[in-house]
Structure 1
Amino acid sequence: MRRLITAAGALLLTAGLAACTDPGAPDDVAAAETITWADPTAKLDGVQLTIWAAQNSNTVPKKVIEGFQRATGAAVRVVTIPDPYEQGIQTKVATGDKPDLAFWQPTASMLTAINAKANLQPLTGAPWLGKLDPKLTDITGLLDGTRYAALVTSPAVEGVYYNKEVFAANGITTPPKTFDDLVTLARTLKGKGVTPFYEMGADRWATQWWVQVQLADAARAGLWDRINTGQEKFTDKTVLDAITRYDALIKEGLFNKDIKTAKFEDQGTALLGGKTAMVVQVNSFFGQLQAKADTATLNQKIGFFPIAPSGNVGTFIPDQSNALVAFQTGDDKREAAARQLLAYWMGPGYADFVTDRNTVSLETGVPNPAGVPQALLDVHAAVAGSAGSMQALAVANPDLYLNLADMIAGTMTPAQVAKATQDQFEQLAKAAGYLK
Structure 2
Amino acid sequence: MKNALKGAVAVAVAATLALAGCSDPGAGSTSAAPAEWPAQDADLKGTTLTIWAAQNSNTVPDSVVSEFEKLTGAKVEVVTIPDPYEQGIQTKVATGDKPDLAFWQPTASQLTALNATTNLQSLDGAPWLGSYDPALRDITGTLDDTRYAALISTPAVEGVYYNKEVLAAAGITETPTDWDSFVQLGRDLKAKGVTPFFEMGADRWATQWWIQVQLADAAADGLWDRVNAGEEKFTDPTIQGAIDTYDSLIKEGLFNDNIKTATFEDQGDALLAGDAAMVVQVNSFFSQLQKKADTAELNDKIGFFPIAPSGNVGTFIPDQSNALVAFKTGDDKREAGARQLLSYWLGDGYADFVDAQATVSLQESVPTPDSVPEALLSVSDSLSDSVGSMQALAIANPDLYIFLADMIQGTKTPAEVAEATQNQFAELAKAQGASGF
Whether the TM-score (by the shorter chain) exceeds 0.5 is yes
**Structure 2 partner of 1:420:** 420
Decide whether the 8 Å contact of 2:30 with 2:118 is kept in 1.
no
Separation in 2, partners of 1:21, 1:281: 35
Separation in 2, partners of 1:415, 1:328: 43
Amino acid at match of 1:234: F
**Structure 1 partner of 2:403:** 403
Offset, 1:252: 2.0
List runs of 5+ in structure 2 lacking aligned partners.
none
Offset, 1:17: 7.7
CA deviation profile, 1:140-185 (whole Å, cap 9, x unmatched): 1001111110001111111001111111111111111111211111
Matches within 5 A, 1:11-410: 11-14=14-17, 15-16=19-20, 20=24, 22=26, 24-27=28-31, 31-32=32-33, 34-410=34-410
Amino acid at match of 1:420: A
CA deviation profile, 1:306-337 (whole Å, cap 9, x unmatched): 00111111112111111111122233322222
Offset, 1:299: 0.9
Q: Which moved more, 1:254-263 or 1:419-428?
A: 254-263
**Structure 2 partner of 1:9:** 12
Partner of 1:46, secondary structure, is: coil
Separation in 1, partners of 2:329, 2:257: 46
Decide whether the 8 Å contact of 2:26 with 2:117 is kept in 1.
no
Q: Which moved more, 1:176-185 or 1:152-161?
A: 176-185
Decide whether the 8 Å contact of 1:108 with 1:141 is kept in 2.
yes
Structure 1 residues 325 and 360: CA distance shift in structure 2, 3 A: same
Offset, 1:233: 0.4
Q: Which moved more, 1:396-405 or 1:6-15?
A: 6-15
Separation in 2, partners of 1:221, 1:367: 35
Decide whether the 8 Å contact of 1:202 with 1:263 is kept in 2.
yes
Decide whether the 8 Å contact of 1:5 with 1:91 is kept in 2.
no
TM-score of the two chains, using structure 1 as the length reference: 0.94
Offset, 1:363: 0.8
Offset, 1:5: 4.0
List runs of 5+ in structure 1 lacking aligned partners.
none
Structure 1 residues 179 and 84: CA distance shift in structure 2, 3 A: farther
Offset, 1:19: 6.3
Amino acid at match of 1:13: T
Offset, 1:72: 2.0
Offset, 1:414: 0.9
Separation in 2, partners of 1:259, 1:46: 52
Decide whether the 8 Å contact of 1:195 with 1:256 is kept in 2.
yes
Decide whether the 8 Å contact of 2:131 with 2:363 is kept in 1.
yes
TM-score of the two chains, using structure 2 as the length reference: 0.94
Offset, 1:75: 2.5
- The number of residues matched between the two structures is 432
Offset, 1:88: 2.6
Amino acid at match of 1:358: A
Q: Which moved more, 1:87-96 or 1:194-203?
A: 87-96
Amino acid at match of 1:415: A
Amino acid at match of 2:237: K
Separation in 2, partners of 1:186, 1:74: 54
Decide whether the 8 Å contact of 2:163 with 2:272 is kept in 1.
yes
Partner of 1:384, secondary structure, is: helix
Offset, 1:110: 0.9
Structure 1 residues 108 and 378: CA distance shift in structure 2, 3 A: same
Decide whether the 8 Å contact of 2:25 with 2:118 is kept in 1.
no
Offset, 1:21: 5.5
Decide whether the 8 Å contact of 2:260 with 2:408 is kept in 1.
yes
Q: Which moved more, 1:169-178 or 1:196-205?
A: 196-205
Structure 1 residues 120 and 3: CA distance shift in structure 2, 3 A: farther
Structure 1 residues 91 and 259: CA distance shift in structure 2, 3 A: farther
Separation in 2, partners of 1:271, 1:55: 23
Partner of 1:207, secondary structure, is: coil
Q: Which moved more, 1:271-280 or 1:206-215?
A: 271-280
Amino acid at match of 2:30: P
Offset, 1:52: 2.1
Amino acid at match of 2:390: M
Offset, 1:2: 4.4
Q: Which moved more, 1:89-98 or 1:16-25?
A: 16-25
Decide whether the 8 Å contact of 2:25 with 2:117 is kept in 1.
no
